[in-house]
Structure 1
Amino acid sequence: MNMHRRTLLAAPALLPFGLPSSARAQGEWPQRPINMLVPFVAGGPSDITARVMAAKLGAILGQSVVVENRPGANGAVAGQVLARAAPDGYTLLTGSIGVFAINAALRPSLPYDPLKDFQTVTLAVTTPNVLIINPSKVPATDYAGVLAWLRANGRNVSYATSGVGSSEHMTMELFKLRTNTEATHIPYQGGAAAATSLIAGDTQLTFQNLSGVAAHIQAGRIKPVMVTSERRNPTIPDVPTAAELGLSDFVVTSWQATMAPAGLPAPILAKLEAGCIRALRDPESVQRLNQIGFDVVASTAAEFRTFQEAEINRWKTVVDRANIRAE
């Protein structure tokens, strides 16, 4: 009788030690700060998205989320770090369309596979691209005029981008294929430098993320001609969409998303996914992100995976048809 009673008393104390260590770790996650990598320098779209999300996510999970900028090789440096990280939920990466889709289409020697090495968490935000011109260099006031001018001048026209393989580069190459036009690519180190070259007249036109050039448009330094969203954007409500101008299937967005290493345990993924969605949909987050031209998506991990696969296939077709090569 006494032995039976001692066994019953001892059972609760022994029960936790009977659980697999992985189950205990998953149930208790997170136990320490989470590191959120950003593959570019501070102040860009990925960095802004990460910091807005991290501020809310830390409070939701009860652990701080530390944003760490790891720029280099168009995002490949941070991508490789994530691919090699332990799948324990303590290393994340918030990056762009280039890191998670375009690089896979453009760079055969990429040191990571964005489908095999990463676990999708959430598609955070999107922003449309906008076709803009320097009004003092392009003798046109609308899309039809710009198109006619492009067809008449061909490779004498130069367009700026934030670099080879950037969203702006891919959008312009897709545009050239769809409109049977030509223009010479002038890559810069970042969207700010590309916009500066356009304003200075060193280049004549460019596709840029709306969030990065909205202030220049409002100041009248550059003129918007077309936006690549499904609907007109409230930031530039007078600018028509590509569909309105006769370009079908030309909805193109630059996007920011969050990934974890492949192999992340399902319970941790579920908690992380729910936390990121809640952080992004917080009214304060939405207001801040909308103010700089982002549309909050906050998708599920499964929705993001489907979207990512379609984006990789889409841009691989553009890379192949336009014969684009990474520098």
Structure 2
Amino acid sequence: MPRIARRALMGAALPALALAQPAWPEKPWRVLVGGAPGGASDILMRIIEPSLREVLAHSFWLDNRPGAGGMLAAEICGAAAPDGYNFFINHIASNGIGPHLHRRPGGFEPNRDLAGVARIASMPNCLIVHPRHGFRTVADLVAFVRANPAAGTFGSAGVGTSSHLSGVMFGQRIGVDLTHVPYRGTAPNMQAVLTGEILFAIDNAPASAQQVRAGLLTALAVSPARRWSQYPDVPTMQEAGIPDFDVASWYGLVAPAATPRPVIDRLAQAVLRALADPAVVTKLAEFGADAWPAGPAEYQAFMIAEETKWGPVVRAAGATRG
């Protein structure tokens, strides 16, 4: 074909290509939520929503699909059209613990079938005990359970939750076979520490913050590798002498794996811009979350590392479900 003819053909194709790839978004987009309305995922998205709307012109609508620790919503997102209008606010349960805990029909694999857009925030767990025990440090607790292993009971918000697996990991790190007592949620788990039904719990830090500040509970350490903004004087588990202990309830956005990269990049930029806004950071902190921004590549690598980390812990806990 003559060079001029080829140029003419390419020129004719350019308008069609432009029409085939319109600016995104042209309408509101869906964010699947793996829990009931009013949960942490809902609140985090609503905090960053004004900033996203300002940048993208269109906002999102939340589609709550609770079930299987967030895996139901994750699977719906993975099977959705990769058209830039389907996303999922994911978390440690869906993409870290969930791949080992819940085997989904059809071979769904969250970190293969979903693409990372951006990490948004994290909330720590906190090791709490009753003041009556007199423990001032994690070392005090460790010494006690090593001397009295039968008294080494810990509670959780349920089998397979991060509070359960945090306790299992703690036992692994200190070399003590601790006894797990599951409850139906964080509130009854915290109440069990208050009443003395269990020795300790490593559960959602914001949920127990009021009791800690009132002196009803003692916070010995927070679970992530970095300190929590609301407990600047409380050490991390690693600082307290527990090696290789880094647990955070993290949240972010993912999309169906085949979603166009320009869409993922544009939404990621909007999220990261929101998390650079001091007002947004303050609102997150008021809710009990720390902004923890990461772009697509970093977030994807992080999720894969989390899945790898939790495999041995889930197997040790015997928590695998169908």
Which TM-score band applies after superposition, normalised by the shorter structure? 0.7 to 0.9
Equivalent residues in 2 for 1:1-327, closer than 5 Å? 18-20=15-17, 24-109=19-104, 112-136=108-132, 138=133, 140-326=135-321
Alignment check: 8 A CA contact 2:137 2:240 kept: no
**Aligned partner of residue 266 in structure 2, secondary structure:** helix
Task: Rate the CA distance shift 1:24–1:173 in 2: closer, same or farther, 3 A.
Answer: farther
- Secondary structure of 2:111's aligned partner: coil
Q: Deviations over 1:209-228 (max 9, x none)?
A: 32332222112221111222
Q: Return the offset for 1:72.
A: 1.3
* TM superposition score normalised by structure 2: 0.88
Deviation at 1:285, TM superposition (A): 1.2
More displaced, 68-77 or 239-248?
239-248
Assess if the C-alpha contact under 8 Å between 2:119 and 2:292 holds in 1. Answer: yes
Offset of residue 268 of structure 1: 1.1
Alignment-mate amino acid for residue 264 of structure 2: L
Aligned residue identity for 1:49: L
SS at 1:297 equivalent: strand
TM-fit CA distance, 1:261: 0.9
Q: Structure 1 residues 283 and 244 mapped into 2: Cα distance closer, same or farther (>3 Å)?
A: closer
Per the TM alignment, residue 305 of structure 1 is displaced from its structure 2 partner at its CA by: 0.9
The answer to whether the Cα contact below 8 Å between 1:26 and 1:268 also exists between their aligned partners in 2 is no
Alignment partners' CA distance in 2, 1:314 and 1:100: 11
Question: Does structure 1 retain, via aligned residues, the 8 Å contact 2:100–2:320?
Answer: no
Calculate the TM-score normalised by the size of structure 1: 0.86
Q: Percent identity?
A: 33
CA spacing shift, 1:26–1:200, aligned 2, 3 Å: farther
- Distance (whole Å) between structure 2 residues aligned to residue 167 and residue 213 of structure 1: 15
Q: 2:295 & 2:95 partners in 1: Cα distance?
A: 16
Contact 2:35 2:70 in 1 (8 A): yes
Letter in 2 for 1:257: G
**8 Å CA contact 1:177, 1:322 repeated in 2:** no
Tell me the CA shift for residue 231 of structure 1: 4.1
Name the Cα RMSD after superposition. 2.4
Unmatched runs of 5 consecutive residues or more in structure 2 = 1-7
- Deviation digits for residues 57-81 of structure 1, max 9, x if unmatched? 1222111211232211211221121
